[in-house]
Structure 1
């Protein structure tokens, strides 16, 4: 018999996700995780840096559909010398290619 209860999403060690593009479960923000441990984390998005204390609740970005808006924003800031848009876009494309 099937249960009506939702299956919990897998838990990730925050340190294992550093250097990957992730989606925050709380609000859906997508960004490159630059640092994380069990006490806090930092995420670089195309619109700025997001940091918080506490355990990271996120999962890796693996589908092109969830990355489309981020890719558009990264292309828009590619020529900004203050932001690594081109490098971040390359990382996102490599991550998506690993999950066909």
Structure 2
């Protein structure tokens, strides 16, 4: 006997202008990567993660990081590279903490 229940579908996320997210820590929808968005428009984007720069073509589908549980692994990686003079780990961690504090 077949069920009349429909299959669950993921909720659609609102897509705003990705340029409005520049300068914020964001989580990319397709793979969950968290990074500081450096630039974004309708054709390309780039972000700095604790492991380096990530860039892509096309419209970025992402949301601002607003909950501490979204940022756990990223915060740990940033703390690990805080003392490396070649990386902005300390500054990035401060920015992430400020962003999280703005969304209690």
Larger Rg: 2
Instruction: Give yes or no for the alignment of 1:76 onto 2:83.
Output: no
SS at match of 2:70: helix
Question: Quick one: which of 14, 22, 30 aligns to 1:10?
Answer: 14
Task: Please list every run of 5 or more consecutive structure 2 residues that lacks an aligned counterpart in the other structure.
Answer: 1-5
Task: Please list every run of 5 or more consecutive structure 1 residues that lacks an aligned counterpart in the other structure.
Answer: none
Question: Quick one: which of 5, 25, 30 aligns to 1:26?
Answer: 30
Could you tell me how far 1:7 is from its partner in structure 2? 3.6
Instruction: Give yes or no for the alignment of 1:89 onto 2:93.
Output: yes
Q: Return structure 1 stretches of 4+ with deviation > 4 angstroms.
A: 3-6
| Aligned residues: CA RMSD | 1.3
Question: Quick one: which of 31, 35, 42 aligns to 2:39?
Answer: 35
Could you tell me how far 1:81 is from its partner in structure 2? 1.0
Please, what TM-score do these two structures have when normalized by structure 1? 0.92
Distance 1:22 1:33 in 2: 7
